[in-house]
Homo-oligomer: A and B are copies of this chain.
Amino acid sequence: MANFQRLTPRSEDYSKWYNELVVKADLAEQSAVRGCMVIKPYGYAIWEAIQAELDRRFKEKGVKNAYFPLLIPKSFLSREAEHVEGFAKECAVVTHHRLKNDPNGKGVIVDPDARLEEELIIRPTSETIIWSTYKNWISSYRDLPILCNQWCNVMRWEMRTRLFLRTAEFLWQEGHTAHATKEEAEDYARTMLDVYADFAENVMAIPVVKGVKSPNERFAGALNTYCIEAMMQDGKALQAGTSHFLGQNFAKSFDVQFLSKENKYEYVWATSWGVSTRLMGALIMTHSDDNGLVLPPHLAPIQVAIVPIFKTQEQLDAIMAKLNPIADKLQQMGIRVQVNTSDKYTPGYKFADYELKGVPVRLAMGGRDLENGTIEIARRDTLTKETISIDGIEEKIQSLLEDIQRNCYQKALDYRIAQTREVNSYEEFKEEIKKGGFLLCHWDGTPETEERIKEETKATIRCIPLEALPGHTNEPGKCMVTGKPSAGRVVFAIAY
């Protein structure tokens, strides 16, 4: 049941506001297992909408879903040298395969006789198990490309966890493709970046900067990591998706070669790309306000909530005679509607609940509306409401939903643009970074400089943008720290 105690305002404590909102809006909660979350039905419905939209886009690009094992032999992780450094350390290790009754009668204990010969790791990501499989699937150029994706759970033993943003177990999709040429693989990694960016902007209403990671921030085992970076309402950056060009690293580690058209054996070229339930965190932190969740209509499980205000059954019947045809027509138009006639809760309670849960449009009709042929229509993003005639209400709602979608995006974009600024000296940088936002700065391209900046300010290079950000140009200059040449400005920020 919803809890309408006021949320801590964002201005007071952004982090607390987020934690409270996730729980109160029924999105997720901590479980009995440290660092693992329960995704509640309302939160999961949003994730399902995300999945459906992404899955359709993947399939349009020729991707097919498959499923690979949860457990990975420990030795696989050592095969790719960089990969093991990045992923093998904090992970869940399965060492035994049986419990037995405690001889002292206290529940169950691990059976020491059921120790595995080789320990198994719960996948933190699946490059290794997938490339060990691709070895059997690929022998000739005819078998390429392979464009597979899986929707699954993964686990990374994080010490400090936050719902959706950083959890030990999370849900994600991971695409893994195999190609005959370097060019094709690089193109595909870029194609999937574009899919992510399109999805983020047009479905999630989150403006993103497309870019390339600096070597320090690259995926362990990748030659190049493309990313989309978003800005949250506290001015911090959130990496919303990554697409990696893996070169031939995994093909070499797992000896995956193919016979080319020219009858030569060559190593296969690879990409991998993924987004996770972290997107839920980005969605919440981009749009929501001190009253609760704000959802862009394209992802809202309920787009329109309809609440009759009644005292007697007779009055309810009369109101529903007007509201039911509206609900039916909206549904026929493909709009997700919830009609709430429950007498368990008051209309005031229902309004507060829909507000907390970010339902984009709320309709209410009472006795006076019934007499006047009107209806109250409230929009969540602006918190405005008006009373209008019910004539042609369905078309008005349809266009209102698109307005709200656009407004969510524009508001977030305006904020990001206002919080993005060019900084030219390191002194200025140290002051500016405290205010948050994206700082566009020249950097000499060395890991040493990047590390120094990170140590001294906690800021990291979020990406080297693929194109200039709106209102900015991208020309060569001099590193703000060392004065050495810089090819163009990169995006610095404090990141989630």
User: Chain A interface (Cβ within 8 Å of chain B)?
Assistant: 1, 29, 31-33, 36-41, 44-45, 47-48, 64-78, 84, 88-100, 107-108, 110, 119-122, 129, 132-133, 136, 139-140, 142-143, 148, 152-153, 155, 157, 169, 171, 344
Contacts and interface: CB of A to CB of B under 8 A. Distances in A.
Contacts of A92: 71, 94, 96-97, 120
A92 B136 CA distance: 27
Contacts of A120: 33, 92
12 contacts: A29-B133, A31-B129, A33-B71, A37-B69, A70-B153, A74-B110, A84-B108, A88-B99, A92-B97, A92-B120, A93-B99, A93-B110
A31 B108 CA distance: 30
Contact of A32 (B40, B88, B107, B132): B132
A77 to B, nearest CB: 6
Nearest to A71: B33
Contacts of A108: 74, 77-78, 84, 88
A129 B129 CA distance: 28
A99 B121 contact: yes
Given A29-B136, A45-B64, A91-B98, 14 more contacts: A1-B142, A1-B143, A31-B69, A31-B133, A40-B66, A41-B66, A45-B65, A71-B169, A74-B110, A89-B98, A90-B97, A91-B99, A94-B94, A110-B119
Contacts of A94: 92-95, 122
A250 to B, nearest CB: 14
A97 B107 contact: no
Nearest to A41: B64
Give the number of copies in the complex: 2
Contacts of A1: 139-140, 142-143
A479 to B, nearest CB: 34
Contact of A74 (B99, B129, B139): B99
Given A1-B142, A76-B32, A96-B95, A66 B38 contact: yes
A40 B66 CA distance: 5
B93 A96 contact: yes
A298 B336 CA distance: 27
Given A29-B136, A31-B69, A95 B97 contact: no
A29 to B, nearest CB: 7
Contacts of A107: 74-75, 77-78, 84
A46 B143 CA distance: 21
A222 B344 CA distance: 32
Contact of A36 (B71, B95, B148): B71
A99 to B, nearest CB: 5
Contact of A44 (B47, B65, B155): B65
Q: Which of A75, A98, A100, A132 neighbours the largest number of chain B CB atoms within 10 Å of its CB? A: A98
Nearest to A344: B142
Contacts of A45: 64-65
A221 B29 CA distance: 27
A44 B66 contact: yes
Contacts of A76: 32
Contacts of A47: 67
A78 B104 CA distance: 14
